[in-house]
């Protein structure tokens, strides 16, 4: 298929830019990448890639180009090589889209209209109530034990980090944390039995 004299001239210019890019000219490399974007997008459109996926195909083409440019034979025309890569990436995208489409359904309005499971709601209320009881029980601990629980248990710091933050030794933190857990367990069990 003949592309016309203007397209042939653009292809020859692109061939020259590719040679310069292979020789390390970063400006030429940027020009090559910019020139590849519309060619890659056109290949994606021709293959029937959905509009929301065209940018992904273009990105895939640019990554493939970056990876393969050093091994590209600059004596051959660049545009057909690029179109072949873009066509393959478009086909790959269509395959992914088809595979995902067979398993996934995108219906955002269905999610908004879906009633919440009452057992989930009850469970969430119970969890919030238990978290409130736990916070209240932690607040009654002696200051060193409370600090150990906050840093080691709630903030999930390592002993090393907690020691640096508090200035306490690792042994002291372990002891305070152990005592705090024992005390919390007793208080929460007593409150549950009451």
Domains of the chain with CATH codes:
5-103 (1.10.1740.10), 117-193 (1.10.10.10)
Tell me the per-residue pLDDT of 29-60, one tens digit each, with 9 for 90 and over: 899 889 889 989 998 999 888 888 899 999 99
* Nearest CA among 131, 115, 180, 172 for reference residue 153: 180
Average pLDDT in the 84-107 region?
Answer: 80
Would the pLDDT of 24 be above 60? Answer: yes
CA distance 4 to 16: 19
Q: Which two tokens stand for residue 114?
A: 């879906």
Q: What pLDDT shows up at residue 73? A: 86
Q: What pLDDT shows up at residue 107? A: 66
CA distance 47 to 32: 23
Q: Which two tokens stand for residue 92?
A: 């790959």
CA distance 130 to 124: 10
């Amino acid at each position: 298929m003949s592309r016309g004299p203007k397209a042939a001239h653009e292809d020859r210019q692109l061939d020259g830019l590719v040679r310069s890019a292979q020789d390390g000219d970063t400006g030429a490399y940027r020009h090559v990448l910019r020139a590849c974007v519309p060619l890659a997008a056109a290949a994606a459109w021709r293959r029937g890639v959905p509009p929301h996926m065209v940018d992904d195909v273009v990105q895939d083409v640019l990554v493939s180009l970056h990876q393969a440019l050093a091994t590209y034979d600059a004596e051959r025309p660049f545009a057909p090589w690029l179109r072949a890569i873009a066509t393959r990436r478009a086909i790959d995208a269509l395959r992914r889209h088809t595979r995902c489409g067979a398993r996934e359904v995108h219906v955002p309005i269905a999610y908004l209209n879906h009633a919440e499971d009452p057992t989930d709601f009850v469970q969430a209320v119970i969890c919030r109530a238990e978290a409130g009881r736990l916070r209240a029980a932690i607040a009654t601990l002696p200051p060193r034990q409370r600090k150990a629980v906050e840093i080691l248990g709630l903030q999930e710091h390592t002993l090393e980090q907690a020691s640096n933050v508090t200035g306490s030794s690792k042994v002291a933190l372990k002891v305070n944390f152990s005592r705090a857990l024992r005390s919390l367990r007793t208080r929460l069990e007593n409150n549950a039995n009451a």
